[in-house]
Amino acid sequence: MLLKSDAINEKVVDSLLTRFLRYVKLDTQSDPESKTSPSTAKQFELAKMLKLELEDMGIVDVHLSNCCYLTGVLLSNSDKIKERVGIIAHLDTSPDAPGNGVSPQIIKSYNGKDIVLPKGDQQVIDVKECSELKACIGHTIITSDGTTLLGADNKAGVAIIMESIKFLLNNPQIKHGDIVVLFTPDEEVGRGTEKIDLNKFAVDFAYTVDGGLPPVINKETFSANSCEIRVKGRDIHPGAAKSIMINSLRAISEIISRLPIDVSPERTENREPFIHPHTLSATVVEANLKMILRDFEESGLLAQEKLIKNIIVDVEKKFPGVMIECEIKKSYRNMLSVVEKNNVVTDRLERAVRGAGLVPVWKPIRGGTDGAGLSAMGIPTPNIFTGGANFHSKREWASLDCMALSLKTVIGVLSVEDAN
Ligand SMILES: [Zn+2]
């Protein structure tokens, strides 16, 4: 049975909005410093709310793990469909902007002008900085009040998945196989797939609903490493320091100054790689620098590692006696090779985007998703747009009209056209 594009009516979109507003009000920020799973207990609040809602809908095998992974299965309604499809969003919001006390404002029939956020330090969503807003004239736009992030990343995805399940239950003429829903904690701190139980999430392939604006879909993420450089020097009274003091602070500054400035996040886009020093602590005796390394190619990451190690060798020569340690850790890898192995997965997504009346555009993500982790475990997992933008900031916004297009796409990707 074909999914008619007008099947998602005003009532469904209203329900999607109500659901989204209910979820964003819960503070679910994750914490990069925490060693526990989940990194913050408050993520359980949303997980428990969703668990009850899934159970109320009649979803089976609903399970919330001790580490805050919520799974459930919408059983197949067709004997002919054998594949099990996973659909995923993350529960947590970014620690990069305040996440407590989200108070959304709703702008109906958006007029295409800059959006002034009413509270806080009078933030403005500038149309010049966010050209996508131009495509949203006439839409219903949702923002925060300017004091917090909105949390569309990823509660738009959570709301869209929940609404898609409700829609499929209300429209049994649309045929689908087993659908396994998964909500993960701690995606924003890079630990979203760390404690996934693949027995609970046994699927042939999956989709994350964690992208930006339609019609952009993703099958490629960065490959990512983290890098920590620790410098040890020697301290003494500055008045008697000649030939004795080794100043870690100067050595670490030298290292930073030798990193190529054009290979930085602020000067790169599209498929360009970057090295990003983001946290520094330094005294004379010791210094500690944290960086992230990003490239779409593995060979590029190796070249970055070599560059950093060569800089360290030079700096050690310039500061005799200094001790410099460099630790590089793998974060995640580009999922492209796994996703492209099976074009059924990407074809199905393209078909669903077209079914929502859009022309699909594949773009690489300058970041990672839970899909990168799942693809590394052998489950190809491309990413679907949510209808939100300006993530991780107080200027985050979402278009309800674009969220509805995402909902159409998700319903399309979960169902099968020719099962009858
Ligand atoms: Zn996200």
Question: Angle, nearest 10°, between helix axes 152-170 and 400-414?
Answer: 50
Residue type, 410: V
Distance 386 CA to ligand 1 centre (A): 10
Distance 28 CA to ligand 1 centre (A): 12
Handedness of CA 415, 366, 26, 156 (dihedral sign): negative
Domain 224-332 listed as CATH 3.30.70.360: yes
Average pLDDT over residues 83-94: 97
Measured CA to CA, the distance from residue 145 to residue 143 in angstroms comes to: 7
Distance 206 CA to ligand 1 centre (A): 16
Of residues 131 and 59, which shows the higher confidence score? 59
Average pLDDT over residues 389-412: 97
Quickly state the pLDDT bin for 120 (edges 50, 70, 90).
confident
pLDDT of residue 372: 95
The CATH H-level (homologous superfamily) assignment of domain 5-220+334-414 is: Zn peptidases (3.40.630.10)
Query: 103: which residues sit within 8 A by CB, 6+ positions away?
Result: 119, 144, 145, 147, 148
pLDDT of residue 275: 98
pLDDT over 70 for what percent of the chain? 98
Alpha helix ranges (H) inside 25-151: 43-57
Measured CA to CA, the distance from residue 28 to residue 42 in angstroms comes to: 6
Measured CA to CA, the distance from residue 403 to residue 142 in angstroms comes to: 11
What are the backbone angles phi and psi of residue 131, rounded to the nearest 5°?
Answer: -65, -20
Do residues 82 and 420 touch, judged by C-beta distance below 8 A?
no
Distance 254 CA to ligand 1 centre (A): 35
- Identical topology for domains 5-220+334-414 and 224-332: no
Of residues 6 and 358, which shows the higher confidence score? 358
Q: Per the structure block, which two tokens stand in for 280? A: 């520094």
The DSSP letter of residue 79 is: T
pLDDT of residue 418: 58
Domain ranges within the chain, ordered by starting residue: 5-220+334-414, 224-332
Measured CA to CA, the distance from residue 143 to residue 148 in angstroms comes to: 10
Distance 305 CA to ligand 1 centre (A): 27
Q: Per the structure block, which two tokens stand in for 97? A: 């902007």
Cα 153 to Cα 12, 157, 281: the distances in Å are 21, 7, 30
Average pLDDT over residues 67-88: 96
* pLDDT for residue 6 is more than 90: no
The DSSP letter of residue 144 is: -
Reference 331, options 290, 365, 372, 363; nearest CA is: 372
Cα 403 to Cα 25, 154, 166, 185: the distances in Å are 18, 12, 16, 22
pLDDT of residue 121: 79
Distance 88 CA to ligand 1 centre (A): 11
Distance 301 CA to ligand 1 centre (A): 23
Average pLDDT over residues 53-71: 98
Distance 246 CA to ligand 1 centre (A): 43
List, in sequence order, every beta strand (DSSP E) within 158-285: 179-184, 205-209, 216-217, 223-232, 274-282
Can the peptide bond before residue 38 be classed as cis, meaning omega within 30 degrees of 0?
Answer: yes
Say which residue the tokens 């020569």 belong to: 317
**Window from 3-7, 62-66, 110-114 with minimum mean pLDDT:** 3-7
pLDDT of residue 1: 38
**Up-side HSE of residue 288: CA atoms within 13 Å toward CB?**
2
Distance 182 CA to ligand 1 centre (A): 14
SS3 156: helix
Q: How long, in residues, is the chain?
A: 420
* pLDDT for residue 3 is more than 50: no
Average pLDDT over residues 65-93: 97
Reference 148, options 288, 56, 315, 29; nearest CA is: 29
The catalytic residue positions are: 92, 187
